[in-house]
Amino acid sequence: MDSIIETERLYLKEFTITDAQLLINLNSDEEVTRYTGDGPVKNIEEAQKILSDIIFPQYKNKMGRWAVYLKSNNEFIGWCGIKYISEAGEYDLGYRFFKSKWGKGYATESAKAVMEYATNSLKLKNIIGRAAKENIASINVLKKLGMIYLRDELCAHDPAEVYILK
């Protein structure tokens, strides 16, 4: 499948069922899942179920968590994208990368492109992002996207902040 979004250094495309191992690898680092509310993915079957039950249904609305790759060497580095949370009626921006890829601006670069696509092509409004208060890197990303503080809430039992792009 072709990429959906390209940036200077990255391309984003839909996960496929053969990508199950990538989810296992990404979630295997407890620092990566420290603030995310989930944890390790046990096996291929569980990863395939996450893909088919949680990730793929979002794709029919041209959104969802997209796999992020480096253009330079086609390496998978994590995911980024918008998920519609029907219970809350909210469009939720999320991102997650391997620790070896943190601090290089990839979250900001991919999320900026995702937000532009969502507002310009999908015409979405009021996209939110939530992050644990201690997850300074994630809160920084939200602020760098021009999102503004909306409210406090609990996220996986951690005090968290919600930001919104109006």
Ligand X SMILES: CC(C)(COP(=O)(O)OP(=O)(O)OC[C@H]1O[C@@H](n2cnc3c(N)ncnc32)[C@H](O)[C@@H]1OP(=O)(O)O)[C@@H](O)C(=O)NCCC(=O)NCCS
Residue 82 Cα distances to 1, 28, 31, angstroms: 19, 23, 22
Least Å distance between CB 124 and ligand X?
19
Reduced to 3 states (helix: H, G, I; strand: E, B; else coil), residue 139 is helix
**Cα 163 to Cα 151: distance, rounded to the nearest angstrom:** 7
Contact indicator for 47, 21 with CB cutoff of 8 Å:
yes
Question: Which residues are bridge partners to 90 per DSSP?
Answer: 85
Least Å distance between CB 108 and ligand X?
3
Stretch that binds ligand X, among 41-49, 57-65, 68-76, 97-105 (CB under 6 A): 97-105
**Cα 114 to Cα 15: distance, rounded to the nearest angstrom:** 15
Does position 163 bind ligand X by CB under 6 A? Answer: no
Does position 96 bind ligand X by CB under 6 A? Answer: yes
Judged by CB under 6 A, the residue of 63, 67, 131, 164 near ligand X is 131
Residues of span 28-87 touching ligand X by CB under 6 A: 32, 35-36
Q: Which is nearer to ligand X, 55 or 135 (CB)?
A: 135
Which residues sit at the interface with ligand X, rule CB under 6 A? 32, 35-36, 95-97, 102-108, 131, 135-138, 140-141, 144
